[in-house]
A and B are shown apart, each in its own frame.
Chain A
Amino acid sequence: MIRHPSELNRKISDAVERMPAFPESVQKILALTRDINCQPKDLVSIIENDPVMAVRVLKVLNSAYFGWPNKITSIDRSVVHLGINTIKNLALSIAAIGVLPKANKAGFDINGYLLHSLTVAGVAKRLGARMGAEADPLDCHIAGLLHDFGKIVFAQFMSEEWAAALALGKEGAMPLHLAERQVIGVDHAAVGAILAEKWQFPTTLADSIRFHHDGEIGHTALSAYVFASNRISNELVRGALGGNAEGLPPAVAARCGGSLGKLVDSLGDLSGIVEEAKLFAQIGAA
C-alpha cells in the first residue's frame, strides 16, 4: 500500500512519461500525418480527445522551461506557442511508443474508459458554454477528458493492486474511489491531481481532477462542472437520467444553477455528445 502520495509520485510519474496513448488516436495520428499537408485542426482534434496525448502536450507547455505568465490548458494555444509541426512531432513521438493494450492484468476496459472520458469532456464543455463566463468551455473539455487520468495510471503501472480495488468495489458494492483508498492507500482522483500538480498544470485543473468524487467541498466553477458532468455521464450510461438519478450535492448544484434534473433539462439533448464520443473511441464501429 502507498503510505504517502509522494511515494507514489516518485514511483509512477517518470513511468507516465513513456505511457502509450489510445489505439484509436495513435492510428489516426499515423494516418493523418502520412499527408504532409494534413490539416492542423484535425491534429488538434485528435490530441484533445486522447487523455495521454493531451497530458503530454500540456506537460511540455507548462514546464518551467517556458515560464509563461499564465498556465496553459488549451491545445490551440499550445499550437500557437510551439507551432503545428512541433506539436505534430510530439504527437508522433507518443504514437511511436505504441498503444495502450486492449487487455491488461487489471481487466481494465480502455474503450469504456475513453468513452467515459470523452462523454464527460463533451458534457462539461456544453455545461461551461451554458453557464457563461465562469469557466472556458475548452478548459471544461480538457478537465473532463483528464478527470479519470489516475485510473489509467493505476491500470498501467499498479495493475495488481488496482485489480484488487476493482474486485473489492464490486464485491462490497463500494464506490471505486473508496475501494482504491482501502487497497492502494490513495484514490485515482488524488493520483491524477498529484500528477497534474507535478506537471504544473493550473491549480483549477488539478482541483477539478482531485474533487470529482468529493461533492462537499467548496467547488470552483470548473470542478463543479466536472463533478456534475461525471455524474450526468454515469447516469446516461445507466439510463437513469429521467428517473431515479443520484442528485447533485448542494455545493455543486449551487455552482451549476440547480438540481441535476434542472441542469440536464437545460443542457438539451446529450445523445449527440455520446454518439460523438463513441465515434472517436470507435465503439460500435465496424
Chain B
Amino acid sequence: MKIKFWGVRGSIPVPGPKTVKYGGNTSCIEIRTDEGDLIILDGGTGIFQLAQDLRGKMPVAANIFITHGHWDHIQGLPLFTPMFVAGNRLLFHGAYDFVSERGVEQVVGVQLQYSFFPVREAEMKATIEYFVLSPGQSVRSGSATVTAVLLNHTMINFGYRVESNGKSVFFTGDHEPYYNIYHPADERYPEYQALIEEKERAIADAVRGVDVLIADASYTLEEYPAKKGWGHGTLDSCIDLAERAGAKILYCTHHEPTRDDQALEHEFGRALARHSPRQGGVECRLAREGEEVEI
C-alpha cells in the first residue's frame, strides 16, 4: 500500500517561501492499494495537484472519503479535473449532517453554485455518486476495506481506517481529544469523565495496531488552552493516541497555517522531547506535501 500526501495544512492554504518544505495545500491524501485501487481521503486544495498527477492515468476510478465538510477539506473539489472527464467514475463517501439535514453530496453541490463557480454539477461528465456512511460502517473500496469512525470535531467528522492485504492506515481528519465540560467541583464531573474515557478507549481501539496513523496535530501544548473546543488536537495528543493505539508510524498533519517550516520543526522537536521514546515504539514524523510512503 502506498500513501502520498497532497495537502497537509489546516484551515487555509499558505503557499510561499516559508512553507515550501512542508507545503501550503490543505487536506488531501492519496492511497494506492497493491492492486492499484485509488482511494482519496479529503478534497482540500491538495487534490488539485493530485488531479494533475492523474492526467495521464485516465479513466480514473476513485473512492473519495470526505472526513467532514469544512472548507479546508473540500475546497479543491470544484477543480478536481477528473470530474469533468467522461469515463471517470468518482464515488464520494461521507457523513450525514443533522444540522443542514443533508448528506455528503452537499460538499460538492454547495460549491458548484452560480455565485461561486461557473460550472454546474450537471455539466460534469464523469460518473459521480454519493454514499452516506454511518458511524462504524465499513465499505469495500476495490481491494481495500474502509471503516468510518466518528471522532470529535466542531461538526460530524469521520476518521477513516483503510485496510488492504494486511496493511492499515488511519486518518483522523479533524479531531480534538474529548474534554470535560464540567469543573472538577461540579456534581456531574465524574460521570462526564467516565463517558470521555469510554470514548477515548473506543477510538484507541479503532486505531489499534495500524501501520500508519495520520492525525490532526494543529496546536502546541501552549496554544491549546486558548483553542480548546475548536476541534483540533495537539502534537502531544497525537503522540499519545499513537502510543495508546500501538500505531507503528505517526504522521502529524493539519499543520497550523501560521507556522512556517522552521517553527513547525521546532515545535515538533519540543513535543518529541516530552515523550521518551519506547524501544520499538511509535515512529513520529511530520507529514510533508509530496511525500510518499510505502507500507
Interface residues, chain A, CB within 8 Å of chain B? 39-41, 44, 60, 65-67, 76-77, 79-86, 89-90, 93
Does B191 have its Cβ within 8 Å of any Cβ on chain A?
Answer: yes
- The minimal Cβ–Cβ distance linking A202 to chain B, given in whole angstroms, is 17
| Distance between Cα atoms of A81 and B98 in the complex (Å) | 13
- The minimal Cβ–Cβ distance linking A141 to chain B, given in whole angstroms, is 11
- The minimal Cβ–Cβ distance linking A8 to chain B, given in whole angstroms, is 24
- The minimal Cβ–Cβ distance linking B113 to chain A, given in whole angstroms, is 21
Contacting pair A65 B134 (CB below 8 A): yes
From A65, A81, A85, contact of B96 by CB (8 A): A65
Hey, what's the 0/1 contact readout for B38-56 against A, CB within 8 Å counting as 1? Answer: 0000000000000000000
Hey, what's the 0/1 contact readout for B86-99 against A, CB within 8 Å counting as 1? Answer: 00000000001011
From A77, A80, A83, contact of B231 by CB (8 A): A83
Contacting pair A89 B195 (CB below 8 A): no
Determine the chain B residues whose CB is within 8 A of the CB of A67 once the complex forms. Answer: 134-136
Determine the chain B residues whose CB is within 8 A of the CB of A81 once the complex forms. Answer: 150, 199
| Distance between Cα atoms of A65 and B134 in the complex (Å) | 6
- The minimal Cβ–Cβ distance linking A133 to chain B, given in whole angstroms, is 14
Hey, what's the 0/1 contact readout for B187-203 against A, CB within 8 Å counting as 1? Answer: 01001100110010000
Given the interface contacts A66-B134, A80-B195, does A86 sit within 8 Å of B155 by beta carbon?
yes
Contacting pair B182 A90 (CB below 8 A): no
Contacting pair A79 B181 (CB below 8 A): yes
Given the interface contacts A41-B181, A41-B182, does A93 sit within 8 Å of B155 by beta carbon?
no
- The minimal Cβ–Cβ distance linking A74 to chain B, given in whole angstroms, is 8
| Distance between Cα atoms of A76 and B190 in the complex (Å) | 12
Task: Please give me the residue from chain B that is nearest to A77 by CB atom.
Answer: B195
How many residue pairs between the two chains, A and B, have CB atoms under 8 Å in the bound complex? 55
Does B186 have its Cβ within 8 Å of any Cβ on chain A?
Answer: yes
Determine the chain A residues whose CB is within 8 A of the CB of B229 once the complex forms. Answer: 40, 84-85
Does B3 have its Cβ within 8 Å of any Cβ on chain A?
Answer: no
| Distance between Cα atoms of A81 and B192 in the complex (Å) | 12
Contacting pair B156 A86 (CB below 8 A): yes
Excluding A83-B155, A93-B99, 13 further A-B contacts by CB distance (< 8 Å) are: A41-B182, A41-B188, A65-B96, A66-B134, A66-B135, A67-B134, A80-B178, A80-B199, A81-B150, A83-B153, A83-B156, A86-B155, A90-B98
Does B75 have its Cβ within 8 Å of any Cβ on chain A?
Answer: no
Contacting pair A83 B195 (CB below 8 A): no
Does B172 have its Cβ within 8 Å of any Cβ on chain A?
Answer: no
Contacting pair B154 A83 (CB below 8 A): yes
Does B152 have its Cβ within 8 Å of any Cβ on chain A?
Answer: yes
Task: Please give me the residue from chain A that is nearest to B96 by CB atom.
Answer: A65
From B152, B192, B196, contact of A83 by CB (8 A): B152
Determine the chain A residues whose CB is within 8 A of the CB of B135 once the complex forms. Answer: 65-67
Determine the chain B residues whose CB is within 8 A of the CB of A41 once the complex forms. Answer: 181-182, 186, 188
| Distance between Cα atoms of A85 and B188 in the complex (Å) | 20
Determine the chain A residues whose CB is within 8 A of the CB of B155 once the complex forms. Answer: 83, 85-86
- The minimal Cβ–Cβ distance linking B111 to chain A, given in whole angstroms, is 20
Contacting pair A44 B136 (CB below 8 A): no
